[in-house]
Structure 1
């Protein structure tokens, strides 16, 4: 007997329908439905049909229910494999989100919209093949590719950490691996942290593989996104490149997933579901029997531990690919000494001198400051109050045009004439952002041509590409920016990189602050001396003795990893222990306090029934307590066994939802 019933998940964002419903399959649709088919179904008293997705087919109907029929197959939808639905179910269970939220993430394209013609500088396939053959490989690149081909031949799949110093040729290894998958009739996904800031990699892909490359990024319209996923589903594209969402490309025969700069925080999705693209990629690769390659010069300590313990296979590129290129020479400047000796400028004497030398030679300079805006905040010199966002628990950032902006919710206002708290006219900016640095650099080096690249400067359609192209073409001498300027760019004429305030990340209120600091400094250092010109790297800091600063100056990742893992073991932080963060949010602060206490009680009861008790911390106020008028409280759970955390969380959530007051949002994140 053929399947006459289908379990369908509805495209409705509401907890009451966050489960599949069983429908009868009409005679004319028998044999035409598969898991993932988009269908139109009746629901409740709604006059219009609802969109749903088939999760499973069954021969027998559940008893005790009067079933309704599926109305038809939804047209103009991108089909999806059963494996993608399995992935959505896994995300639902793993991240504690609604099943419908997981499905909307895995199936991001809902309808076709007229797409604009695709603009590409791609060459033909023949040219791409010629270019491929003309590139020589280093001995290390050849060894890495041999290992990956051996595993592919043995159909071993598996996960790899490609640990390669900046400039060692990781991108060329990616290209060869993608070419191998195409030869085998398989498809590949390449994830980049911010595709608009890595346009050189995209151009490189298009030169190699032409129209077989599909590109996804946040600036695309709905129609353009639909077209790219549709091309993947129809087999017109064999390579999907983009940020997190590219991971869900509906490839029928996926053979490879690559995550470049795998350490980057952009791979964590801050919206619901709060997933880690690296974990989801590992699951998708497992379901597809595909290889997973995570590449970085500064791997996350989680990935490094997995590699050193054998969970990932470790592949190394220890030398720069360009003949004669060597790591930048580092200078660490103690800003305390500068201050003691009367230098109150943002530029240390060493950095000023080195910039002057570069300008005289016609070479380029990059200055890194990981804070945008004109000043960090505006404060009253009379009463000491800082101007704060009325919707978030943060100070407003002062910008060059006199506006005050919240970088959490987007709130914007003009700089007041007087202090809102005491009426004093004595308001002053404190701290420094990229806009003010541009101004001071212009005064210090008046002949220099200066460009700025930060989130405020890349709001246009090209996402900052025009700024980077202008700098690469030599139309500016100094590029000033936030972390955007240190991510994978290759500017042959840049011979000096200066970090203006290396301590910024060290003072961040998170256990990963040292790791983040080391990664940014190392990535910044990698921008200098990419060709055969000697590069220099200046770190300005108030904490020159810190192991993150010292390791970055020495370009010694393994030294840093050893010190950082020792700290994580002592403090009980991941990857030594698994940690689950539980966030409760509400606009009513009193209701939130009660709900957080209730959830904590539910956790205690669930913990008492578990074989081993985890360590629980909280409820405590989130680091930023209020965002967009929502107050937020956190509970943290730590345990060596991931499954125990899942069991306790699930039991506590069931008890909590039975008593939960309205207006409470609940989010989970595993770290």
Structure 2
């Protein structure tokens, strides 16, 4: 007598597929099944309640006698599928190393009885990295069982691992950032209980411990904990559930809490004995003019003076401006025409020495035309000076006696970094985008100048003020010897609004910010879901959402994007389910991103 099983496959569709089998198979075991003209490795979800309506194809091979992931990760996968509005098969694929999804054989999972105790939550919001990490080490030394410590970036995980006592290193491993053979070997080592400690970046989120006694996540409010591909897992959110499932102690740490943690738990802020941030007005700045640029570049006299003093004392200074290129926009002074990318429609920047147009989104490059396409005027100028102009200005201010460097994503490289750090031994100035802050982890910096705090907080995002505050706050404390570091912030409204927290602490910032978000019904008090439907199906999806009485926004009428505001995801899940059935493969599936905080 034939039996039937439901199998989760790593596709975008949500529904499981039913196959025929000659014997019962435990949920969580891998099987090889036919799908159209190919074969796929999937996971058995359950024995089917009844045969499918059509003819069921037969399972081609059963790869496991017992589930390879263990009960905790299996439950975690089912929870994540619902919490992130994605298929169970897709979650299992992201949770598993590539070799497991290729069907590589593995030994039986070592079963461990779950703890009877509930997870205990603790906070470690200490601004200095060295002090905070020292507290993690103390916890690890007291932990007798398995422990997982996550950092938002691999460089921080590596620095923490390097500073660990030898005794902890002997029983642990630094989880590799990428996939491949090293990730497979690490996965097997953890699964076979050869190590009891894993330190890593978000790549280690699903390290397959049979049990967990301690989970610590550092810099938990960092956006780097959110994965960069759909379904956009957040490591803190995932490991919080792991702590709940395993009964592990759960430590949330960082320089400040996230909105969700502060709203739910209100952890106490540390006390500060010294004011680190100096807020100065752009309106009282020196204005530096540049050929072909309509706006002057403002730099406050205090920032210039302190920069010269620090560089002459053979110390390193950073100037941060998140505007790559020569100018953020090119326009015709006569008729106001602006230049847009012919491929993606984004406003193009001036780059090089102002003779080239470049799209910041798709990278398209065009020569700057000699005349305006609309009125034929030759008066084409740049607006909002960028990093290239700031770099030229800094060079002129410092002269040839002190080195000045430009640093952003396109200029990064190990060789260039080594050369720059060598030159900075006798002091200098580095001008860069927000990525320049990564230098704080490997080089001592005495002064940071934020050239335009208002621009950081005015991005078209509900959490723009938090992102601006967090970047500046982190720059106060991140990295090597931060106690003597000085921060100078240029602003049109110094000390007002969200900037009050830069002087008085993150509690003041979150009290003001969350009051506003609650009034506007924004995360963390509701879910804000961005749905990108397949081309041509936006209206159909919008009508379905509106019929379900959901709050729907169309942020850009000419783009295939919808925003939905919901208090419970289960309601939205039911509306989306017909659009996520495998029968819709020919039409394509919506992509979903959930903002929780």
Q: TM-score, normalised by structure 1?
A: 0.74
Q: Residues 463-494 of structure 1: CA distance to partner in whole angstroms, max 9, x if unpaired?
A: 997578658x7265223333334369356742
Q: Go from structure 1 to structure 2 and tell me whether the alpha carbon gap of 1:41 and 1:579 turns closer, same or farther (over 3 Å shift).
A: closer
Shift of 1:503: 0.9
- 1:304 shift after superposition: 0.9
Contact 2:314/2:426 (<8 A) preserved: no
1:619 correspondence with 2:553: yes
Does residue 477 in structure 1 map to residue 411 in structure 2? Answer: no
Write out aligned runs for 1:507-526 (5 A).
507-526=458-477
Separation in structure 2 between the aligned mates of residue 156 and residue 597 of structure 1, nearest angstrom: 42
* Structure 2 Cα separation of the partners of residues 529 and 432 of structure 1: 31
- The answer to whether the Cα contact below 8 Å between 1:34 and 1:56 also exists between their aligned partners in 2 is yes
Q: Aligned residue for 1:19?
A: 16
One of 505, 516, 521 as aligned partner of 1:572: 521
1:251: how far off? Answer: 2.0
Structure 2 partner of 1:330: 277
Taking a change above 3 Å as real, the CA distance of residues 531 and 498 of structure 1, as seen in their structure-2 partners, is closer
Aligned with 1:101: secondary structure?
Answer: helix
Equivalent position to 1:603, from 535, 548, 553: 548
Take 2:561 and 2:101, find their aligned partners in 1: how far apart are those partners? 40
The separation in 1 between residues aligned to 2:8 and 2:372, in whole angstroms, is: 52
Deviation at 1:353, TM superposition (A): 0.5
Establish whether residue 449 from structure 1 lines up as the match of residue 407 from structure 2. no
**Which residue of 60, 77, 89 maps to 2:78?**
89
Residue among 153, 176, 194 paired with 1:194 = 153
How much has 1:443 moved relative to structure 2? 1.8
Distance of aligned partners of 1:586 and 1:14 in 2 relative to their CA distance in 1, 3 Å threshold: closer
- 382, 385, 394: which one pairs with 1:429? 382
Separation in 1, partners of 2:356, 2:192: 48
Q: Secondary structure at the match of 1:376?
A: strand
How far the C-alpha of 1:336 sits from its partner, in A, is: 1.3
Whether 1:358 aligns to 2:307 is: no
Residue 105 of structure 2: aligned partner: none
Match of 2:214 among 246, 256, 265: 256
Alignment partner of 1:169 is 2:131: yes
5 Å-filtered alignment, 1:645-660, equals 645-654=568-577
**What residue in structure 1 maps to residue 500 of structure 2?**
550
Answer with 542-551 or 350-359: which moved more. Answer: 542-551
How far apart, CA to CA, are the structure 1 residues paired with 2:372 and 2:198?
A: 51
Residues 9, 21 of structure 1: 8 Å contact kept = no
Residue number in structure 2 paired with 1:72: 61
Q: 1:391 offset after TM fit, Å?
A: 3.9
The 8 Å contact of residues 88 and 99 in structure 1, kept in 2 or not, is answered as: yes
State the number of aligned residues.
571
Q: Deviations over 1:447-474 (max 9, x none)?
A: 222344432233x5x5997578658x72
Q: Are residues 272 and 556 of structure 1, via their aligned partners in 2, closer, same or farther at CA, if it must alter by over 3 Å?
A: same
| TM-score of the superposed pair, with normalisation by structure 2 | 0.82
Distance 1:488 1:73 in 2: 50
Q: 1:457 to 1:211 in 2, by over 3 A?
A: farther
Q: SS at the partner of 1:336?
A: helix
Measured in 2, the distance between the counterparts of 1:505 and 1:355 equals 22
Name 1:634's counterpart in structure 2: 562
Q: Deviations over 1:337-375 (max 9, x none)?
A: 226999955421101110111122122212222333343
How far the C-alpha of 1:380 sits from its partner, in A, is: 3.2
Question: 2:249 corresponds to which residue?
Answer: 291
Counterpart-to-counterpart distance in 1, 2:218 and 2:372: 47
Show the counterpart of 2:391.
438
Closer, same or farther: CA 596–111 of 1 in aligned 2, 3 Å: closer
Q: Distance in 2 between matches of 1:483 and 1:250?
A: 34
Deviation, 1:237, is 4.0
Q: Which residue of the other structure, out of 518, 532, 539, is the alignment partner of 1:584? A: 532
Q: Secondary structure at the match of 2:339?
A: coil
Distance 1:230 1:525, change over 3 A: same
Q: Counterpart in 1 of 2:331?
A: 379
Aligned to 1:541: 491
> Structure 2 vs 1, CA of residues 167 and 41 (structure 1 numbering), >3 Å: closer, same or farther?
closer
- Shift of the 598–400 alpha-carbon distance from structure 1 to 2, 3 Å rule, reads same
Q: Assess if the C-alpha contact under 8 Å between 2:240 and 2:250 holds in 1.
A: yes
Deviations along 1:603-632, whole A, 9 cap, x unmatched? 22xx6xxxxxxxx2x33124xx77xxxx23
List runs of 5+ in structure 1 lacking aligned partners: 114-152, 309-313, 320-325, 608-615
Residue 229 of structure 1 deviates from its aligned partner by 2.6
Can you list the C-alpha shifts for 1:12-52, whole angstroms capped at 9, x where unaligned?
x253x8414344256xxx8xx754443323445x3x54211
User: Structure 1 residue 549: deviation in Å?
Assistant: 1.6
Aligned-partner Cα distance in 1 for 2:417–2:157: 9
Give secondary structure in 2 for the equivalent of 1:667: strand
Secondary structure of 1:652's counterpart equals helix
Query: 2:296–2:385: 8 Å Cα contact kept in structure 1?
Result: no
* Worse overlay, 62-71 or 265-274: 62-71
Rounded to whole Å, the distance in 1 between the matches of 2:189 and 2:372 is 55
Counterpart Cα distance in 2 of 1:271 and 1:206: 35
Asked if 1 retains the 8 angstrom alpha-carbon contact of 2:230 and 2:593, the reply is: no
Shift of 1:437: 2.6
Question: Could you tell me how far 1:524 is from its partner in structure 2?
Answer: 1.6
* Equivalent residue runs for 1:229-268 within 5 Å: 229-268=187-226
1:524-535 → structure 2 map (5 Å cutoff):
524-527=475-478, 530=481, 534-535=484-485
Q: Quick one: structure 1 residues 445 and 468, their matched pair in 2 at CA, closer, same or farther if it must change by over 3 Å?
A: closer
**Structure-2 separation of matches of 1:199 and 1:380:** 49
Among 159, 162, 182, the residue aligned to 1:203 = 162
Given the superposition, is the C-alpha separation of residues 527 and 93 from structure 1 closer, same or farther in structure 2, using an over 3 Å criterion?
closer
Runs of 5+ unmatched residues, structure 2: 103-114, 290-294
Structure 2 Cα separation of the partners of residues 273 and 529 of structure 1: 35
- The answer to whether the 8 A contact 2:315-2:427 is kept is no
Quote the Cα distance in structure 2 between the aligned partners of 1:433 and 1:197.
29
Report the alpha carbon displacement of residue 70 of structure 1 after superposing the two structures with TM.
4.0
